[in-house]
Amino acid sequence: MSELIPSSLPLRNDLVGEEPYGAPQLDVPVCLNVNENPYEPTLSVVDEITRDVRSIVPTLNRYPDREHIALREAFCKYLERESGVTLEVEQVWGANGSNEIMLQLFQAFGGPGRKALGAAPTYSMYPEYARDTFTGWATVQRNSDFSLDLEGLLTAMERERPSIVLLTSPNNPTGTILPMDQLEKVLQASQHIGVEGAGPHVHPVVVVDEAYIEFRNLGTPTALDLLGSYSNLAVSRTMSKAFAFAGARVGYVAADRGIIDCLRIVRMPYHLSAITQATALAAFKHTDEQLGQVNHLREVREETAEWLRLQTWHGKPLQVAASQSNFLLFGGSFEDRDRIFEELLKRGVLIRVVGPEGWMRVCMGKDEEMARFRKTLAEVLAKLEEE
């Protein structure tokens, strides 16, 4: 148990020894570890949010709209514009970041005697959602290039009979996109698989986490395209990443109305504050500005990937996972990645030790930040090679 937690407290037995999730939050010149959009809201966005929040402050003695209808309408308009998919208000649902969306999905469809199935390596919070909702967690290993082992997943679905199949596109921490033909095969298989601990004729919910989807290559489809064909598909999105709104904590999910109604059962009353709703609505008035740097960050990703592949470690080029996100997983053979992390940090550059052994992840920052990262990484690798 953590030294800060008295042993006399009746902490749940399964939580004894656990540590809180979280990437390091350090005050360093170059912070490239949490996959944020590095570009601040413009002054016009700041002014719009300030005005709209100021207008609702006199009403804060009243509860907000617990169904957040206006915000759900805004989600629909945005998704139609961004992905060309037309949805009804009853098919979308918002929460405090996509983290809360995921937790609500596990609360609604997981629980004791149920299992969720994912593809590793993937987002490290998924098993924590499972733990917190007393849901079993199982994974299949991805291929060596981090693509989905489709046959392995389908076999695991038959074996585990999960209530939730959770896939990520682009995948975190690898940046790997999920091809739609593979997703369709998973969805088709789910129609014929039962759920352990559930009644007859019950089938898994397939969740696709698209937190980083706006960074995908142009022309790459989204799981939203399949919503009309599969009532057990849920697609999670967020305003935190491409939309440059991480501090506002606004996530949402698109799905069949039946799934949304299940989430409404487990949501806390008035879970989205009036200030959160007003802030998000104000930001949606400036969608072009909020997404204004996405194309540039794609270019930075490709340029950085090319540069990384030209770097060497012990005489061999660094490996770089193919990414359609705003981050890159690189290395592949760093026998002591923690040492590299510390040497970068000493020089004011913070990236992330995450994913399989030997790999590290860097988020795309502003041009000057990326220049500092390249210079510093080259220095660190050269220094450690000499030792």
Q: DSSP secondary structure string, 128-186?
A: HHHHHTT-EEEEEEPPTTS---HHHHHHHHHHH--SEEEEESS-TTT-----HHHHHHH
Q: pLDDT tens string for the chain (387 positions)?
A: 456 788 888 999 999 888 888 777 788 999 999 999 999 999 999 999 999 999 999 999 999 999 999 999 999 999 999 999 999 999 999 999 999 999 999 999 999 999 999 999 999 999 999 999 999 999 999 999 999 999 999 999 999 999 999 999 999 999 999 999 999 999 999 999 999 989 889 999 999 999 999 999 999 999 999 999 999 999 999 999 999 999 999 999 999 999 999 999 999 999 999 999 999 999 999 999 999 999 999 999 999 999 999 999 999 999 999 999 999 999 999 999 999 999 999 999 999 999 999 999 999 999 999 999 999 999 999 999 987
The pTM of this model reads 0.95
Q: Which residues of 283-321 are buried (b: 16+ CB within 10 A; e: fewer)?
A: bbebeebbbebbeebbebbeebbebbeebebeeeebbbb
Strand, helix or coil at 273?
A: coil
Question: What is the rounded CA–CA span in Å between residue 254 and residue 94?
Answer: 9
Query: What residue spans define the domains of the chain?
Result: 22-39+293-386, 43-290
CATH topology of domain 43-290: Aspartate Aminotransferase; domain 2 (3.40.640)
18, 139, 159 from 15: Cα distances, Å: 5, 21, 27
Token pair listed for 279: 């802030």
Distance (Å, rounded) from C-alpha 136 to C-alpha 115?
4
**Overall fold of domain 22-39+293-386:** Aspartate Aminotransferase, domain 1 (3.90.1150)
* Cβ density class 128-139: b for 16+ within 10 Å, e for less: bbbbbbebbbbb
Closest by alpha carbon to 215, among 300, 330, 118, 309? 300
Fold match between domain 22-39+293-386 and domain 43-290:
no
Distance of CA 235 to the CA centre of its chain: 11
The SS3 assignment for 122 reads: coil
